[in-house]
Structure 1
Amino acid sequence: MRSLRRRHPLLISVLLCMCALVVARPAVAEGDHGGTGAHGIAGSSVRVARLYEEAALATRQYELGRREAEAQQAEARRLEGLLTRERARTEVLHEDLGRIARAHYRAGGGLPYTAQMLLADDPEELMRGQRAVSQADTAVDNAVVKSRRAEARLAADEAEAAAKWQKLERWNAELAETRRAIEKKLEAARWTLQGQADASVAAGACRGATRLDQLHRGSTRAWVAPVETYELSASFGSGGERWAHRHTGQDFAVPIGTPVRAVGAGRVVRVSCGGAFGIEIVIRHANGYYTQYAHLAAVTVDRGERVDPGQWIGQSGTTGNSTGPHLHFEVRVTPELGSGIDPVPWLLRHGVEL
């Protein structure tokens, strides 16, 4: 950028004016050269799609690790509870042993066994008492040994569970750091793609489709939502300063580069850029309705191409008359603006609840 400033001051002034329309956007990602040609847009589009997948995978791994760590914590707490109960049981056995010993002493246990027999009124009764005491002593001793073994085993299990939990915590920390690094790269790549899309729209030079065949996600369902993960924002018919009358579709708040899907099978009848909708796609479906996907940063299909439900047809952006990254989605009875109907109940009738 510094070399451009030295050699082309007029060009830099124009670029700065354009940048004023894009408030506080991150710098170009390392390795991207910001080209606005088909090759530059295609490279950024593929990079964003790849990083999107990597970020999603890292998030899934992190969530799995977090759930496993929670399970290990729960197991450690369970074992601690068992150990606590076992210790209480051992204390009771120790108290029982003390009572038996005291009773034994009061019954003459402090005297030699021969002396007890000489002094006893009924030697047979004494022998029966001695056998009972001996059996009780043996039972208590066995119980104490068993309790101590159980305590040692539970303590070892508890230590193992705690060690596994600590290992999982370290692994989760590493996963979280990996996820943050990927998301940082993804954010930079997203704005690089958006910058190229803005330049293409401003020049009125719509580029061809960027093929992401290896990343397409088909669906076993006949109808799907246009994006997988989203927050609903401006709804159909709502008012706003940026619309001449009323909002003509349903907005899905999603980051730049989010894969946009065909909601159902159909044929692409329009791929265009420029105007209020920026980069847009219109698809005609077999039931006679049309769906529009607007403010895109890139497209992955060409006009005349057939698409399947859930197929990636583009990547979301914020081109055209847009206040921020989102997908503008419309359902129309003709391919033209002004024939739109509320997309939410239309999708619901096709089994898609937003």
Structure 2
Amino acid sequence: MRQRRIRPLVVPAVLLCTLAAFAGPRTEASEGSEGAEGAGTSAEVAQLYEEASAATQRYEEGQRKAAVQQARADRLEQLLVRERRQISALHDDLGRIARAQYRSGGDVPLAAQMLLADSPEDLMRGQRVLWQADLAVNNAVAKSSRAERKLAADQRAADATRRSVEAHNVRLAFLKQGIEDKLKAAQWQLQGEADQSVAAGKCRGAARLDQPETPSTRAWVPPVEHYELSAGFDSAGEHWAHRHTGQDFAVDIGTPVRAVGEGRVVSVSCGGAFGIEIVVSHPGGYYTQYAHLAAVTVDQGEQVRTGQWIGQSGTSGNSTGPHLHFEVRLTPYLGSGIDPVPWLAERGAL
């Protein structure tokens, strides 16, 4: 499973849930309801979420690899700069050797040198100097040629590395964008089905989803895995007839919503200001509410374990944007709520 990433209290309270009409109709789902109409879309969204997460991880890993490759390309470029300097220096050396050879008589024919030499020893010394000069020239030319070939090979390697980085990034971005586009379309299809349920005041049956592969070993967890906190408990705003009764978690439509602790589902409702909502009772006399959902994955009366997916977030009911409205209550009913943030923090769930 992905690691939980918490980013608390950094998002303005723009994803607000309106409680002005909380007295509106709320139709309870029947226990053990069957034939969930939205199960297909819910499962598709859940699957696409996993694929999007995996694609994001691959993209981020690709970006890290690209950074390594770019650093390698930068080092190659630095080597190329040094090699160009060395080649320039070799060319300068060739010029100096040629000029020195000219001054030492390197352009005088051997027969003339024999006639002009004072002694055989002078001739041999002069000849050795010429041979050494010729050898130096030949060595310098060979070294320069090798350096130029290496420079060309390194330049090709640097160019190939850059092309590889660019092509890899394009492929990953295309894959990631394709999955995200499919997810977005499925999310709004799921939300449309949720809105139909709310308008009819009748919940669809539970959309059974494959649960996380690694069940939670903790007693308490946050209601969603990845989130940002937005509107808080008891905050005021133009969207509420009374003060805010819970804590909003800014998440996208279709995000798996988890039971924060083990307990029993006491109600599944569709209609009214909260849209689709679930209330769970927990040992110790506390109740938790999960509202503005796009789908539910449990039935009334069902026992749930900590971290179990019980629904998918949405923007049903009186909501101005996708988020999860979460409450901790002393009773199953609205008006008995306490601040969820310290309650979760005391239990190590934030």
TM-score per shorter chain, which class? Answer: 0.7 to 0.9
2:154 counterpart residue number: 154
In 1, Cα distance between the equivalents of 2:177 and 2:64? 17
Give the Å deviation of 1:332: 2.9
Give the Å deviation of 1:230: 2.9
2:232 counterpart residue number: 235
Which segment is superposed worse, 85-94 or 270-279?
Answer: 270-279
Counterpart code for 1:328: H
* 8 Å Cα contact 2:73/2:158 also seen in 1: yes
In 2, Cα distance between the equivalents of 1:279 and 1:217? 27
2:22 counterpart residue number: none
Q: TM-score, normalised by structure 1?
A: 0.75
Give the Å deviation of 1:116: 4.1
In 1, Cα distance between the equivalents of 2:35 and 2:81? 68
Greater share of helix residues, 1 or 2?
A: 1
1:198 counterpart residue number: 198
Give the Å deviation of 1:153: 2.1
In 2, Cα distance between the equivalents of 1:179 and 1:93? 55
Unpaired runs of 5+ in structure 2? 1-33
* 8 Å Cα contact 1:262/1:307 also seen in 2: yes
- After superposition, give the CA deviation of every residue in 1:172-211 in whole Å (9 maximum; x if it has no partner): 4532552354144224423322223323xx43x3343221
Give the Å deviation of 1:38: 4.5
Counterpart code for 1:151: L
Give the Å deviation of 1:154: 0.8
2:348 counterpart residue number: 351
Give the Å deviation of 1:239: 0.6
Counterpart code for 2:343: W
* 8 Å Cα contact 1:222/1:265 also seen in 2: yes
Counterpart code for 2:185: K
Please show how residues 1-354 of structure 1 align to structure 2 within 5 Å.
38-113=35-110, 115-116=112-113, 118-119=116-117, 123=122, 125-126=125-126, 129-130=129-130, 132-172=132-172, 174-175=174-175, 178-179=178-179, 181-199=181-199, 202-203=200-201, 205-213=202-210, 218-286=215-283, 288-353=285-350
Higher RCO structure, 1 or 2 (CA under 8 Å, sep 6+):
2
1:25 counterpart residue number: none
In 2, Cα distance between the equivalents of 1:229 and 1:106? 80
* 8 Å Cα contact 1:242/1:321 also seen in 2: no
SS in 2 for 1:143: helix
Unpaired runs of 5+ in structure 1? 1-36
- After superposition, give the CA deviation of every residue in 1:74-103 in whole Å (9 maximum; x if it has no partner): 444433332232122111111111111111
* 8 Å Cα contact 1:66/1:172 also seen in 2: no
Give the Å deviation of 1:105: 1.1
* 8 Å Cα contact 2:221/2:349 also seen in 1: yes
| Pair 291,180 (structure 1): closer, same or farther in 2 beyond 3 Å | closer
Q: How many residues align?
A: 314
